Amino acid sequence: MNLTIDQGNSSAKVSVFDGNDMVAVARFDLLSISALARIIKSYGVNAAAYSSVRRPDARIIELLRKRVKKFICLDHNTPLPVVIDYDSPCTLGQDRVAAAVGAATCAPGRNVLIVDAGTAVTLDIVTADGHFLGGNISPGLHMRFEALNNYTSRLPLVDYNGEVPLIGHNTVTAIRAGVVGGLVSEIEGYIDKIAAKMGNDLVVIVTGGDSNYLASRLSRQVSVVGNLLSIGLNRILIYNENI
């Protein structure tokens, strides 16, 4: 039984795999050592992979090193089943690495564009022969809404719940139309450019907290894989167990 921990900016996702099959998943705003210990005991976990976009939690690392036979704290030195063609691999976010491996696992032999819609939005490319080329990073939906509120004196804080017209007809709908419509257009424009470069058989996988909302607004067919990073971490763990 394998355990993966995907520590994001706002929450942690803990998943348990029996081989390649996910058998349990839980999300925590704050992952406690006691909760993690219960999961390890309940499922008889004997291998674990941990990825964090923040500073890794030393208590989690200590617990996993003590309680499981095989432990990987993902970093730029971890052996991977994909090739990283990135100029600065030591600065590459481990969430982007895990998502790339997850995409190569879900769509083997295909060029894949990964749209990870979380606190930030990343758009990354994995080639059909398993090379991570890099990609783009931009503010996510909530960051954009908060920026308009924080950096102006009179614009209210808005979220994406509600009408999103093509043309805003009051301040609230103008903000919502600008933020949501702007991000959707940004993603669609990037998809079109990458498809023109790599072929229209490009696979687009959308993941992250806002994946369902954004995917429903995209005009191109995409696949929503909510557990893409967990799948990638499990694949990295299995890869390292076999080398």
Nearest to 117 by CA among 224, 231, 234: 224
Out of 6, 95, 116, 124, pick the active-site residue: 95
User: Which value, in Å, is the radius of gyration of the alpha carbons in the chain?
Assistant: 19
Distance CA 190, CA 192 (A): 5
Whether residue 213 contacts residue 160, with contact meaning beta carbons closer than 8 Å, is answered with yes
Whether 95 is a known active-site residue: answer: yes
What type of residue is 28?
Answer: F
N-to-C CA span, the chain: 18
Token reading at 168: 């805003």
Q: What are phi and psi of 48, to 5 degrees?
A: -150, 150
Burial class (CB in 10 A: 0-12, 13-18, 19+), 129: exposed
Q: Supply the residues annotated as catalytic.
A: 95
